[in-house]
Amino acid sequence: MPTVTVIQPTITEEQDTKIRCAAYCRVSSDSEDQLNSFMAQTRYYEKAFEGSETEQLVDIYADEGITGTREDKRDEFQRMIKDCRRGKIDRIYTKSISRFARNTKDCLKNIRELKSLGITV
């Protein structure tokens, strides 16, 4: 009679690990409409990840009343990029890719760096 050996499946870390997500919000002025948009964006992301079985919110990075023309003036954007470089984030959500930069060249530079780090946007 043949012997039957049952091989138990191994559980990989990937199956148990949630995708580490971040949200980036930015408005470029302090006008009331812009501030309402800013608050709506941050509230949306806070609620979007509640109870998710596949994603975990690492942080919401938010620059308020800051222009997109100069990256060095956007402290939260810089903090998010540093956290990406440190391997803390797997995916970034944002209202619009234009939040990353005011011009195409800078936007593409940021997206390419994130892609090279394995981070989806």
pLDDT of amino acid 15: 54
Q: pLDDT class for 31, splitting at 50, 70, 90?
A: low
Q: Is domain 15-116 given the CATH code 3.40.30.10 in the classification?
A: no
Q: What percent of the chain shows pLDDT beyond 90?
A: 39
CB 25 within 8 A of CB 60: yes
For residue 91, pLDDT over 90 is answered with yes
| pTM score, whole prediction | 0.77
Across the chain, mean pLDDT equals: 83
pLDDT of amino acid 26: 82
